[in-house]
Amino acid sequence: MPKATKPQFYAVRRGQVPGVYRTWRETETQVKGYSGAVYKGFMTRAEAEAFVQSNLVPASTATSTSKNNPYTRPPTPRGPVAGVPTKVRAPIETGIEKNGEDGLEVVVDGKVWKVVYTDGACSGNGRAGATGGIGVYWGPGMKNISERLPGAQTNNRAELIALVRALETDPDPAAPLILKTDSSYSIQCMRDWLPKWRKNGFQTSKGPVKNKELLLYLSYLMEERPGHIRLQHVRGHAGVEGNEIADRLAVAGAGLPDVEERDWAITKEEAEEELSQEHVDFEVPPEFVLSEAELAQMEQTQQFD
C-alpha cells in the first residue's frame, strides 16, 4: 500500500483563527481544545482557501483522522473565537477600510495603507493567577494571531506585546501601516514617556522602569521598519469590527498554556535608535489622552508592567 502524501496546506474553517496554514504545528494551535473545530489537509492552497470559505466539506478530500491528528478535543472553557470573517468583501469607497488581497487596507490622501488591529487581554489583571493573551488581526484569511502572553501576566504588557507581534509578523514591511489599538497607554508610552526615560536612565519616582527591554525592542521594531507607521487609537468595545475581533483573539490566547518570558534584549546601538517623527505618527483623540495627574499617578504606583 503506497504511503499517504503529506498535506502541503492545512485549512481551518472553524478554530481559534480560521485560515490556511503551512504546517501541522501551526494548525494544531488553532484547533486543539476548540470545540467543534473543522479543518482539513490539502495539496494546493487554492483547495485549502476554498474549503475555508465554503460551507460544505468537499467530497474529494480526505477528512483528517484521529490517527493523523490524535486529539480528543475537550470543550474550551472560554468558548470559540466567533466572528472572525474569512470571505473578502468588495472594495469600499476611498477613505474607508476594505478587505484587499493582502488583508485590511485604507486609502488616505491617495496612498494605500495596510491596517492591523492589536489588543491585549488579562483576566484578573494585577492579581495572583492572572492570565493574559494577545490578539493581532490583519484581516479575513490572513495569519492572525491568538497567543498566550509570555512572562508576567498584566494587561499593559499584553497591549505592548500585541504591537510587537504585529510588527514581527508584518507580511509587507515596506508598505505604509496603520497600527490600531485601544490602548492609549501603549501610544503614550512610545510617544511621551520613552523619550523622557531615555534621558533619565529609565527611572521613575518609585525605581527603574520594569519593562525597559520590551519598550526598547518595540521602539527598535518601529524605527527599523522600512514603511511609514501610524500608531492610532481606536475606541475599545465600541463595535469597531477589527478591534472586536482582535479582542476575541486576545481573550482566546489567555486560555492557552503558560509561555515563558522572552529575551527582549537588543544591542546598545539598536537601543539608542530613537523614533523619528518623520517615520512614525501617533494619533490619540483628546478625550483619551492621559492627563499630567494621571501620568504622575501611574508613575507613582509603578503601573508600567
One domain for residues 100 and 231:
yes
Note whether 100 and 249 are same-domain residues: yes
Residue 60 domain-assigned?
Answer: no
Indicate whether 290 belongs to any domain: no
Q: What is the pLDDT of residues 229-281, one digit of tens each?
A: 999 999 888 889 999 999 999 999 999 999 999 999 999 888 888 877 677 88
What integer pLDDT is reported at residue 53 of this predicted model?
Answer: 64
In a domain, residue 181? The reply is yes
In this prediction, residue 297 has a pLDDT band, given cuts at 50, 70 and 90, of low
Kindly report the CATH number assigned to the domain that includes residue 43. 3.40.970.10
| Residues 9-41 pLDDT 10s | 788 877 777 777 778 877 887 787 776 788 888
Q: Confidence band (pLDDT; 50, 70, 90) for 99? A: confident
Whether residue 175 is contained in a domain is answered as yes
pLDDT in tens, 46-89: 777 777 765 433 333 333 322 333 222 233 333 344 444 444 33
Q: Do residues 290 and 186 touch, judged by C-beta distance below 8 A?
A: no
42 and 131 inside one domain: no
Q: How far apart (Å, rounded) are the C-alpha atoms in residues 135 and 133?
A: 7
User: Does residue 263 lie within any of the structural domains?
Assistant: yes
Do 43 and 113 have their domain in common? no
C-alpha cell at 73: 478535543
Q: Are residues 123 and 262 in the same domain?
A: yes
- Domain match, 170 and 233 both: yes
The set of long-range contacts for 121-127, using a CB threshold of 8 Å and a minimum separation of 24, is: 121/155, 121/158, 121/247, 121/250, 121/251, 121/253, 121/254, 122/149, 122/153, 122/154, 122/155, 122/158, 122/254, 123/254, 124/153, 125/153, 125/154, 125/155, 126/154
pLDDT in tens, 133-172: 999 999 988 889 999 999 999 999 999 999 999 999 998 9
Domain extent, residue 235, equals 96-270
pTM (2 decimals)? Answer: 0.67
Q: Give the whole-angstrom CA distance, residue 55 versus residue 87.
A: 11
Give residue 154's pLDDT. 93
Residues 14 and 115 in one domain: no
100 and 41 inside one domain = no
CATH of the domain at 169: 3.30.420.10
Q: Assess if residue 251 is contained within a domain.
A: yes
Give every CB contact of residue 79 below 8 A, 6+ residues apart in sequence. 35
202 versus 67: which is more confidently predicted? 202
Distances in Å between the alpha carbon of 85 and those of 14, 36, 89, 142, 208?
11, 17, 10, 10, 43
If one counts the domains in the chain, the total is 2
Are residues 29 and 141 both part of a single domain? no
Domain assignment present for 84 = no
Q: Is residue 301 included in any domain, yes or no? A: no
Verify that 34 and 144 share a domain, yes or no.
no
Q: Work out the pLDDT band at 291, boundaries 50, 70, 90.
A: low
Q: Based on the domain organization, do 108 and 178 belong to the same domain?
A: yes
Confidence of residue 132 (pLDDT cuts 50, 70, 90): very high
Residues 159, 265, single domain; the answer is yes
